[in-house]
Structure 1
């Protein structure tokens, strides 16, 4: 039997509560109440968003609440990630030269909602693409009518479901590119999550390609 979310609204509230607990409101320059109010309209979407497979330990999530860099910068969200059962904060690899993260934006084929927060739905960390050439994996995902995750979406997935990032089942984020051959990715380094990148033609046996069925915004 395919695992499902039993109570999508309860799961949404858990995700909001987790972000509040991690200090997202303060990072956004908002009070806890203002932050909760800003994302509350998305609660109307979760009944539909929560119908997909939901088994985080197997890398499948029905929906995840995404806070974009317009609300909280990547430099603030990545240190708020941890591995499952650990406390050491995630970090951004030094190979991102100063200012380069701002250039990693959604690709032309990724249709993002015009909202500072939204839901990414039917998410899969994509370990089936471990060992595949990243460019080929992204093409296959597009052929399936799915969309590669952006950096913000990958961080949101890890933040809300730390169990998805495990040894030999880490994931690339092909939905964000900067015009060169680099593909951002999340993997484990020094017993913590790391945001780094790999080359689009270089396969890695421990990096899949995360994807989603779609995105949903309020209104």
Structure 2
């Protein structure tokens, strides 16, 4: 188990509940995700109904990242701001975002649509580094979320991305030629409109990265209990 993080991390806040898998399917349809992934709307609805029969309530519906990668999903994110809302974006120095793949030992169920159970934002690990948090997550018998899974979560309940309570998705990492891991770890948080983000993006949901050895008081570590594919 990793060392306890410094006590400067913000207190946890309530995480919005996920709607039913059927309602999540309708949300994805409304956003146009099935079409973007090359699927029919009804195929996602049917998959959600079948998964609902075999997974616990509160599960997250996910379109496989190979079909709906982060670069496609991120612009669909929205957060409310005064006078309207801001759409999501990927930071400019993460043009390779879709090359971030599951870490060793993390397998998706296969198939176009699957469910992720018991998702948690990991607020209690805010101010831990990714290098510290990953063994804690796996030591609890849980699995870190993939970046695409984390985006799906925020598409269903935008309030899960909250000021001072955002999250990393350390299940996704980029492997360099030769096999070593890139030290960037992906995360989803809220832009302050500084630097290359641009002032116009202040308050927008942001897909970015942090170094694997760095701590941030406002980033937890999203994880899940399990992943389930469609019954065979």
- Give the TM-score taking structure 2 as reference length: 0.79
- Paired residues for 1:52-71 under 5 Å: 62-71=58-67
Quick one: which of 42, 58, 76 aligns to 1:36?
42
* Distance in 1 (alpha carbons) for counterparts of 2:214 and 2:185: 10
1:193 to 196, 205, 215: 205
Q: What residue ranges of structure 2 are gaps of 5+ in the alignment?
A: 1-16, 175-180, 192-201
Residue 216 (structure 1) aligned with residue 224 (structure 2): no
Give secondary structure in 2 for the equivalent of 1:215: strand
For 1:70-109, list aligned pairs within 5 A.
Answer: 70-83=66-79, 87-96=85-94, 98=95, 100-109=96-105
* Structure number having the greater helix percentage: 1
Consecutive aligned runs of 4 or more in structure 1 exceeding 3 Å deviation: none
Counting matched residue pairs gives 198
Say which of 214, 219, 232 aligns to 1:202: 214
Write the deviation string for residues 187-214 of structure 1: whole angstroms up to 9, x where unpaired: 0012111000001110000001000001
Query: Hey, what does 2:4 align to over in structure 1?
Result: none
- Tell which deviates more after alignment, 11-20 or 143-152: 11-20
**SS, match of residue 88 in structure 1:** strand
CA deviation string 1:91-121 (max 9, x = no partner): 001121x3x2232000012121112211111
Cα displacement (A) at 1:35: 2.6
The structure 2 residue matched to 1:145, chosen from 110, 116, 141, is 141
> Contact conserved, 1:16 with 1:36, CA < 8 A, in 2?
no
Shift of 1:38: 4.1
The answer to whether residue 58 in structure 2 is matched with residue 46 in structure 1 is no
1:182 equivalent in structure 2: 184
* Segment drifting more, 198-207 vs 62-71: 62-71
2:52 and 2:22 map into 1 onto residues whose CA distance is 10
Secondary structure of the residue that 1:16 maps to in structure 2?
A: helix
Inter-CA distance 84–146: structure 2 relative to 1 (3 Å threshold): farther
Alignment match, 2:160? 164
Q: Against the structure 1 CA distance between its residues 116 and 48, is the aligned structure 2 distance closer, same or farther, given a 3 Å change threshold?
A: closer
> What TM-score, normalized to structure 1?
0.83
Gaps in structure 1 of 5+ consecutive residues: 52-61
Does the CA-based 8 Å contact 1:187-1:193 persist in structure 2? yes
The CA distance in 2 between the partners of 1:84 and 1:212, in whole Å, is 27
CA–CA separation in structure 2 for the residues paired with 1:208 and 1:145: 17
CA–CA separation in structure 1 for the residues paired with 2:55 and 2:80: 24
